[in-house]
Structure 1
Amino acid sequence: MSETKVKPVIAEELMTALQSEVSAESQVILHCCIRSEMFPEEKIRIWASTYLVDRKSEHVSRLIHFENISLFPDWTDIPFGKDYWFTLVFSGLPKDCKVFDFIELIPQNGGFFHEGIRRNSSDVYRIKLDI
């Protein structure tokens, strides 16, 4: 005996509500470049206390994922004299955000900081950072 599979029907109002929830959860991706030119054995890491801050509303987007860089307390070696790229993924910014800052708040000197990033439609950015 074969079973008949019935496709569920989802109310239009629910689909609209779910779509707005998905849109609200958009992510912001920063591809970051750093170059070591001072010390041959330079190391970097990222702290969980790294954020994107909307300049208009002071909304804070939190770090939710990272690639090619270690999370505190671990370190990542970077090659001397070459560009080194790592990627950070943050929770979404407000739809009306036009300019935001990238801030690593840490209890010591040397946190990453890049101000005045202009928002684009893809929410994917490439930035150069100083050590």
Structure 2
Amino acid sequence: MEETIVKPVIADELLLQLQAEIVQEKQVILHCGYKSDVHLEEKIRIWSSTYLVDRHSNHISKLIHCENISLYPEWTDLPFGKQYWFTLVFSGLPSDCTVFDFIEYIPQSGGFFREGISRNASDVYKIQID
């Protein structure tokens, strides 16, 4: 069975606006993939208490925009057994940051977490969330 990847659709005008803001404000973009269970109905969402945390300082970058995923308390339905992509935009990291963590602080289990993301020059990342 061939796997279908569902890509987020972002309006061209929003992409242009985000690109301009990235240059001006050095924002960080995470393209996040999540594989849903083949047999279970799943839902997904992101909380505004989601951050990028610099591993070598006390700097925390805040979530400022999300695409193709609902913000708490709303939910997004996931397709059965498919790869689902969403995009998160964060405020910029310090120029000397080399490694950061992606952490969703929530008052329940199951928050998103990805440890030790190596910084790149573009500040655009594609990560898989399990």
Give the TM-score band, short-chain normalised. Answer: 0.7 to 0.9
What letter corresponds to residue 95 of structure 1 in structure 2? S
Larger Rg: 1
Indicate the residue corresponding to 2:34 in structure 1: 34
Q: Does structure 2 retain, via aligned residues, the 8 Å contact 1:40–1:79? A: no
Q: Equivalents in 1 of 2:35, 2:51: separation in Å?
A: 22
| 1:102-124 CA-partner distances (Å, limit 9, x unpaired) | 00000000000000000000000
Between the aligned residues of both structures, percent identity stands at 72
Q: Which stretches of structure 1, 4 residues or more, deviate above 6 A after TM superposition? A: none
What letter corresponds to residue 62 of structure 2 in structure 1? R
Which TM-score applies when normalising by structure 1?
0.79
What letter corresponds to residue 27 of structure 1 in structure 2? Q
Question: Superposed, which structure 2 residues align to 1:53-92 within 5 Å?
Answer: 53-92=53-92
What runs of 5+ residues in structure 2 fail to find an aligned partner? 1-21
Question: Superposed, which structure 2 residues align to 1:75-114 within 5 Å?
Answer: 75-114=75-114
Root-mean-square deviation (CA, aligned residues, Å) is 1.5
What runs of 5+ residues in structure 1 fail to find an aligned partner? 1-21
Count of residues in correspondence between the two structures:
109
Q: Equivalents in 2 of 1:39, 1:48: separation in Å?
A: 29
Which TM-score applies when normalising by structure 2?
0.80
